[in-house]
């Protein structure tokens, strides 16, 4: 799988985790580089668009992503 198209400008990594380089790199490896289909943020981006993505949504919160998508 190719790297996520949002990896460089993802608001989560540039805002929520800003400054925590070890945690950022571990999460990017898991959610952005290996399989972005596991990322809740990517799910929202694909289903609803970037403008509907909550800034505080963590990549592992797939249940919340499913809920947000189902409410649209």
**How do residues 11-28 score in pLDDT, each as one tens digit?**
887 776 666 788 888 888
pLDDT tens track for 29-38: 999 998 888 9
Assess if residue 38 is contained within a domain: yes
CB 5 within 8 A of CB 37: no
Assess if residue 53 is contained within a domain: yes
Read out DSSP for the chain? -PPPTTTTT-HIIIIITTT-HHHHHHHIIIIIII-GGG-HHHHHHHHH-GGG--TT--TT-HHHHHHHHHT-
CB 56 within 8 A of CB 16: yes
Overall domain count for the chain: 1
> What is the phi/psi pair of residue 36, to 5°?
-70, -10
Structural domain range at position 53: 11-70
Assess if residue 55 is contained within a domain: yes
Q: 52 or 2: which carries more pLDDT confidence? A: 52
């Amino acid at each position: 799988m190719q790297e996520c198209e949002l990896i460089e400008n993802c608001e989560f990594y540039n805002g929520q985790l800003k400054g925590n380089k070890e945690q950022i790199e571990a999460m990017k490896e898991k959610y952005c580089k290996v399989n972005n289909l596991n990322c809740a943020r990517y799910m929202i981006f694909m289903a609803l668009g970037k403008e509907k993505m909550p800034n505080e949504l963590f990549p592992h919160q797939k249940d919340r992503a499913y809920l947000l998508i189902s409410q649209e």
